[in-house]
A and B are shown apart, each in its own frame.
Chain A
Amino acid sequence: MEMIHAEKLVYEYDKRDEEGNVIGTNRAIDGVDIDIPQGSFVAVLGHNGSGKSTLAKHMNAILVPTGGTIWVDGMDTKDPDELWNVRQTAGMVFQNPDNQIIGTVVEEDVGFGPENLGVPTDEIWKRVEDSLRSVGMLEYRKASPNKLSGGQKQRVAIAGVIAMEPKCIVLDEPTAMLDPNGRKEVIRAVETLRAEKNVTVILITHYMEEVIDADQVFVMDGGHIVMHGTPREIFSRVDELKSYRMDVPQVTMLAEELRKRGLDLPRGILRREELVEALCRLR
């Protein structure tokens, strides 16, 4: 069963000069085909301006394609009758933690989504408690969002999406504005979520370390999907990745350099332990 399926997806917008006159069109997404099975963990990589965020916004019907079609759980996002269903099915977490928290108290913010869906009051309280627990923020339920760290705010934002019980969560660079600690917190929260609730996770990022556990990786450049495969496959093509201005995890980089110098190492080493093991096996 496909959670998200796109065919020949195109998104164009007008390029404007300083007076607002149209001087041409830009293609942010240019003919993208994508298949994301239910329950999988998919990462989309790309440098700034590669179209990865635009693609993410299509999965939640915030943007509607100008060409081609995208189906979310079988629903065409262009169909206005399905709009709220699409948005409930595919929850979205954005980059800036401050600009997506609506409530003045943590628990009220998490309750915002279910309130909009018209969930009965008792059920809202249950969902709020469950989702705050699953991101490990239950003890902060009465706190003001302004007093939380970036990583904590982002976890609250994730809880806010989970409380809507989506089948799929799209995280649009959730860690881009966080420090390394906050980044770890958020990624860990996403991992537990996947293990507990079996939701489809789509992670848009430019940090390579975060995609190691993904089932599939898509690399975008200039609005196209230029590489597609498992993390191991992708990271074994170091030179190709570099041509798209992407960095490779340090360990992979080191292994690749060693391999070039004639050490007999396998391609696509992702973790430090793997490299250690491979090196030990050499002797």
Chain B
Amino acid sequence: MIRDITIGQYYPAESVIHRLDPRVKIVCTLLFLVSLFIQNSVLGYGLATIFLVCVIRISRVPFKFIVKGLKPVVILLLFTVVMNLFLTRGGETLVHFWIFTITESGLRTSVLMAVRLIYLVIGSSLMTFTTSPNGLTDGLEKLLHPLNRVNVPVHEVAMMMSIALRFIPILLEETDKIMKAQMARGADFESGNIIQRAKAMIPILVPLFVSAFRRANDLAMAMEARCYHGGEGRTKMKPLKYRARDRWAYAVTLLYLVLIFAVGRFVSFRLWIF
């Protein structure tokens, strides 16, 4: 039951997108997110759609899988749409009954907002689908490296992230084990109201924390025994290196960004109210 939760989901497949340098994917994802915010026109969203669909096709991640990733934001999405639909005033009134009014600009904002939100989620989850968690931490470490100069412990944070990723399944398994052990002694996790259920979690959390600390202690010792002494003087088994395809990816994304910018600036095109 607990194991159904997947964090930092990765969809292993053989594709150009998967093989891209993680730094490229992080930067390009950010650029794509920016592109969604610098314009607000049908043409712009059309461009974004083309770009996104192309990337999805190249990445060979099934469309169904991507749509599943939208589930957690459905409520937020509905909330935004409804709020924008009824509360934005301006332009002609399209529908009016009792206290509800839907205006032209209300419809416009809510639809565009919904599209923006969906693309936001798809764009960023496409990054995690195509990049292994380790690649992601490696990429972040390399990208944030300049922050070292202002005393941000970039290497340590990246190391913590990758260790956390390694221990998530172990701790989940342990939680399962503790739950079963407590259930065998008559603990009840399923009935009662929220407060009672939260209280029932205490006998799980306490042993879980104790064991997590013990593990952390052991792991620290094992790391020291293998000569770990921070990021200094460390070499990489899999160093990140830009290749031709990475430069192409940057070029394509930049081109896209320029196009979006140009469309927002110079082309006016209206489709009904949008």
The chain A residues found within 8 Å of chain B, CB to CB, are: 60, 62, 84, 87-88, 91-92, 94, 96, 98-105, 107-108, 111-121, 124-125, 128, 145-146, 160-161, 164
CB–CB A100/B235 < 8 A? no
Least CB distance, B218 to chain A, in whole angstroms:
4
For B227, give its contact among A87, A98, A105, A121 (CB under 8 Å): A87
CB–CB A111/B222 < 8 A? no
Summarize A's interface: helix, strand, loop or mixed.
Answer: helix
Contact with A along B163-185 (1 / 0, CB 8 A): 10110011000000000000000
Contacts A62-B221, A113-B226, A164-B226 given: A104-B234 contact, CB under 8 Å? Answer: no
CB–CB B223/A102 < 8 A? yes
CB–CB A118/B166 < 8 A? no
CA distance A116 to B229 in the complex (A): 7
CB–CB A119/B235 < 8 A? yes
Which 10 A-B pairs give the minimum distances between C-beta atoms? Answer: A100-B222, A99-B218, A111-B237, A113-B226, A116-B227, A92-B225, A124-B237, A104-B166, A118-B233, A146-B169
| Residues of B214-254 contacting chain A, CB below 8 A | 215, 218-219, 221-229, 233-239
Chain B residues contacting A105 (CB-CB under 8 Å) are 134
CB–CB B235/A101 < 8 A? no
Contacts A100-B219, A124-B235 given: A88-B165 contact, CB under 8 Å? Answer: no
Tell whether B124 is near chain A: CB-to-CB under 8 Å: no
For A84, give its contact among B162, B165, B227, B239 (CB under 8 Å): B227
Tell whether B44 is near chain A: CB-to-CB under 8 Å: no
CA distance A119 to B233 in the complex (A): 9
Number of residues on chain B facing chain A (CB within 8 A): 27
Chain A residues contacting B224 (CB-CB under 8 Å) are 62, 87
CA distance A274 to B16 in the complex (A): 62
For B166, give its contact among A62, A94, A101, A111 (CB under 8 Å): A101
CA distance A66 to B145 in the complex (A): 40
Contacts A114-B237, A115-B235 given: A104-B225 contact, CB under 8 Å? Answer: no
CB–CB A112/B226 < 8 A? yes
Chain A residues contacting B166 (CB-CB under 8 Å) are 101-104, 145
For B222, give its contact among A84, A94, A125 (CB under 8 Å): A94
For B218, give its contact among A91, A96, A107, A128 (CB under 8 Å): A96
Least CB distance, A244 to chain B, in whole angstroms:
27
CB–CB A115/B236 < 8 A? yes
B167's nearest neighbour on chain A, judged by CB, is: A98
A94's nearest neighbour on chain B, judged by CB, is: B222
CA distance A88 to B238 in the complex (A): 22
CA distance A101 to B225 in the complex (A): 12
CA distance A115 to B134 in the complex (A): 15
Selected A-B contacts with CB under 8 Å, 20 pairs? A62-B221, A87-B227, A91-B225, A94-B221, A98-B170, A99-B218, A100-B222, A101-B166, A103-B166, A104-B133, A104-B162, A108-B238, A112-B223, A116-B234, A118-B235, A119-B235, A121-B235, A121-B237, A124-B237, A128-B237
